[in-house]
Amino acid sequence: MQLLQNRIAAEGKILGNGILKVDSLINHQVDPMLMDACGLEFAHIFKDSGASRILTAEISGIAPALMTGVHMKLPVVYARKTRPVTMPGTVYLTTAPSHTKGNMVDLIVSPEYLKPGETVLIIDDFLASGATILGLVRLAEAAGAKVVGVGALIEKTFEGGRSALESLNVPVETLVRITSMENNILHFG
């Protein structure tokens, strides 16, 4: 998706340790028009996926998932990283390593909003190692739901996430692919 790639090329900053800062677009400041365009693109890509629900992880997944939900007219559920007081006693919880934080984070979904038989489209901001997305897959499976597709705004192809997701046998679609950040230069694929 050229629009997103151009913005990343112009505004993305490589911080070292494999971290790409896109805080002006997605992770702190959000450009709603750009997210709207990305949501429309995902809605087009996944129009025949049969998804009944979109699943993402707070915080950075919310914007792309919400805009995809608007265009697909599907409810969005975002996995919480801490358990709010409003959650019931029994929840689905899994743990995944955080790429930017360097520690493990919980991903928690209430059984109220993820039910057996649902067909789930996972949308997130990054596909890097795939660890967060695999965590969301485990939550869906724990609920008896079926993952029918995975979409991410930005794929870092050199971190192996795509092969980590291969065994799911579902479409994995990303809008921009970064093939290298070596020598502080972004290469797109």
Q: Compute the least distance from the CB of residue 38 to a copy of itself, in Å.
A: 12
Distance CA 79, CA 107 (A): 5
Q: Which position among 59, 115, 144, 166 is part of the footprint of a copy of itself (CB under 8 A)?
A: 59
Burial class (CB in 10 A: 0-12, 13-18, 19+), 99: middle
Contact present, 112 and 88 (Cβ < 8 Å)? yes
Q: Which residue of 4, 7, 8, 35 would you call a contact of a copy of itself, by CB under 8 A?
A: 35
Q: Least distance (Å) from a copy of itself to the CB of residue 19?
A: 6
Q: Which stretch, 25-33, 120-128, 133-141, 175-183, contacts a copy of itself (CB under 8 A)? A: 25-33
Residues in the chain: 189
The DSSP output letter for 80 is: B
| Residue closer to a copy of itself, measured from CB, 4 or 165 | 4
What would the x/- binding string for a copy of itself be over residues 102 to 141, using CB under 8 A?
-------xx-xx----------------------------
What six digits make up the tokens of 169? 């046998």
Strands 53-57 and 19-21 turn out to be: unpaired
CA separation, residue 188 to residues 4, 32, 56 (Å): 11, 23, 25
Positions that interact with a copy of itself (CB under 8 A): 13, 15, 19, 21, 23-24, 27-33, 35-36, 58-59, 62-63, 66-67, 69-70, 73-78, 80, 84-87, 100-101, 109-110, 112-113
